[in-house]
Amino acid sequence: MKKQKFKSGFVAIIGRPNVGKSTLMNQVIGQKIAIMSDKPQTTRNKIHGVYTSDNQQIVFLDTPGIHKRQSKLGDYMNQTALNTLSEVEAALFLIDASEGMGGGDRYIAEQLKNIRTPVILVMNKIDKIEPEALLPLIEEYRKLHDFAEIVPVSAKHGNNVSTLLEQLGKYLPEGPQYYPDDQVTDHPEQFVCAELIREKILQMTREEVPHSIAVTIEDMKVQDNGVVYISAVIFVERDSQKGIIIGKQGALLKEVGKRARHDIQNLLGSKIFMDLWVKVKKDWRNQDRVLRDLGFGR
């Protein structure tokens, strides 16, 4: 079957507390996401959820701290959030349509002033308002920012959420599938494995391979025989780097696999079987920073 070009990218979710960010993620991704939202907030960006369909994958990032705070840490967190916002493909700005505009919304809009990233205004909780109330509200919000799209939804009941995902697709570039189909949140052990593989490559290639490689774990599961199966992809920017990492008759990649397997076996305390693939992904560096924040690349 001929597939259309796959698109993927990162999307930040912003909005003051209780506007329905978690509810929206649950609606988009399903119940499984709950694991993620229970994690304590850190100053780092974290993955809120991963949505995968036949033709696109969207990695939703929670951006902590884009609200008023009076501390150094608050400033830092706001800066982190703003850095993220300028590097993602698009941002969803969620508001609570049943409450109307508040100071929190105005503050966020203020922060968006110097950012060129397309911002989609998501007017949530439309199930709680009269349809006539929507247009005046849209007009009011329009004055805050030049939104790329305005999409009214009910995250709780799922109304118009598919439209939102469609609209979002317009802002995603062609790109790889970063996560396997069934992965909806990040798993720390997968990141650690990816890091170990990356470390071995850097150890063995030195300056021949720039540090722009990234490793993603495509599959990780315990087989019936108790062996943990891991499939990992090493992304590089150029064909020449791919050659270096594979080495003569695959020798270097084999050694990377051997060393990484040793460490990962120690880490997991069980036998592992590992498949390593090398793929060229041009323009990798464009997303380098976002990925680094996620624990990929560097």
Interacting residue ranges for ligand GDP, rule: CB under 6 A = 15, 17-23, 124-125, 127-128, 154-156
Least gap, CB of 96 to Mg ion (angstroms): 12
Q: Which two tokens stand for residue 105?
A: 């919304």
How many Å apart are CA 167 and CA 152, to the nearest integer?
A: 12
Least gap, CB of 227 to K ion (angstroms): 36
Nearest to 202 by CA among 213, 193, 192: 213
For Mg ion, the closer of residues 13 and 168 by Cβ is: 13
Least gap, CB of 27 to ligand GDP (angstroms): 8
Q: From the list K ion, Mg ion, ligand GDP, none, which binds 48 (C-beta under 5 to 8 Å, kind-based)?
A: none
Least gap, CB of 13 to K ion (angstroms): 8
Q: From the list ligand GDP, K ion, Mg ion, none, which binds 261 (C-beta under 5 to 8 Å, kind-based)?
A: none
Number of C-beta neighbours around residue 109 at 10 A: 19
For ligand GDP, the closer of residues 112 and 172 by Cβ is: 112
Q: From the list K ion, Mg ion, ligand GDP, none, which binds 20 (C-beta under 5 to 8 Å, kind-based)?
A: ligand GDP
With beta carbons less than 8 A apart as the criterion, state whether 289 and 61 touch.
Answer: no
How many Å apart are CA 161 and CA 124, to the nearest integer?
A: 10
How many Å apart are CA 72 and CA 21, to the nearest integer?
A: 26
How many Å apart are CA 56 and CA 220, to the nearest integer?
A: 21
Distant-in-sequence, close-in-space partners of 27: CB < 8 Å, separation ≥ 6: 155, 156, 158, 161
Distances, alpha carbon 282 to alpha carbons 87, 90, 116, 236, 286, in Å: 17, 20, 23, 8, 9
For ligand GDP, the closer of residues 92 and 253 by Cβ is: 92
List residues near Mg ion by CB under 5 A: 22
Least gap, CB of 26 to K ion (angstroms): 11
With beta carbons less than 8 A apart as the criterion, state whether 250 and 183 touch.
Answer: no
For ligand GDP, the closer of residues 84 and 154 by Cβ is: 154
Give the three-state DSSP class for 45. coil
Number of C-beta neighbours around residue 238 at 10 A: 15
Per-residue interface string for the shown chain with K ion, residues 16-55, x marking contact by CB under 5 A: ------x---------------------------------
For Mg ion, the closer of residues 49 and 152 by Cβ is: 49
Least gap, CB of 123 to ligand GDP (angstroms): 10
Site for K ion in 219-248 (CB under 5 A): none
Are β-strands 7-14 and 56-62 bridged in parallel, bridged antiparallel, or unpaired?
A: parallel
For Mg ion, the closer of residues 125 and 261 by Cβ is: 125
For ligand GDP, the closer of residues 108 and 213 by Cβ is: 108
- Give the position of tokens 């009941």: 157
Least gap, CB of 20 to Mg ion (angstroms): 8
- Per CB under 5 A, residues contacting K ion are 22
